[in-house]
Chains A and B, each alone.
Chain A
Amino acid sequence: MLSPELRDAIVEHAREASPNEACGLIAGREGVPTRIIRCANTHPQPTTRYLIDPREQLRAFQDMDEKGEELVAIYHSHPASQPYPSPTDRAESHYPDVVYLLVSLRSEAPEVRAFRIQDDVLREVSLLQTGSGRSSDPRS
């Protein structure tokens, strides 16, 4: 489950990067997210596309190995569109075992949803911890 603190950190990253798409990784242990790793969006059209810097990917994998962590999720933001995997997101997904988390900033209240993309089959998953003083389910 994604804690409110990690969720907020991802939303903060998305807001800082806007109008560009933010992107990064969520590391964890035994499937439980423990921290986020902000990554640079190196795509030449960063307002509508993202590409995580490959060398940052390498460093992140090495760092997770050293810490005994695993890759739990890949996150990115949609500054002006819904938090749902676009055709591009689906076509360029190469990690069927991890969760793809999307943050939308299209409305004042950020929306966060999580999916698995396996063999072009899309399935929404529950990664988000609710409660803890939050007024609403962030998936709604």
Chain B
Amino acid sequence: MTVTVRLPGALRDATGGQTKVEANGRTLADVITDIDRRHPGFRGRVLDESGRIRTYVNVYIGEDDARSKGGTDAPVPEGSEVMVIPAMAGGA
């Protein structure tokens, strides 16, 4: 299954500056592993030590928040677009 993964923000550092990459996988975990194979270190930027999506990262599969669809077990349909969006936050 081929999907497009878009990476606005700092995560492009983990893919050699690319903001859009193609990847294969049936689940979000598969897709992340596939990108990490070509861009070592990517997985650690998106997932924490326990394998969960980092708190400051939001992942959408199409219009669906991956956290509401099983987290890294979320299915990724063929042709879908995955957006990995770092949070925009701060404070005085």
A-to-B contact residues, CB < 8 Å: 21, 23, 25, 39, 43, 45, 48-52, 54-55, 57-58, 61, 71, 74, 76, 78-81, 85-86, 88-90, 92-97, 100
Contacts and interface: CB of A to CB of B under 8 A. Distances in A.
Interface residues of B, number: 21
B85 interface: yes
Given A52-B87, A52-B89, 17 more contacts: A21-B91, A21-B92, A23-B88, A48-B91, A48-B92, A49-B92, A50-B89, A51-B89, A54-B85, A57-B85, A61-B85, A81-B92, A85-B90, A89-B91, A92-B89, A94-B87, A100-B90
Contact of B10 (A54, A61, A94): A94
B8 A71 contact: yes
B86 interface: yes
**10 closest A-B pairs by CB:** A94-B86, A49-B91, A89-B90, A54-B58, A88-B91, A52-B88, A78-B92, A51-B89, A92-B89, A81-B92
Q: Looking at B13, B58, B91, which has the most chain A CB atoms within 10 Å of its CB?
A: B91
Interface string B2-19: 000010111111000000
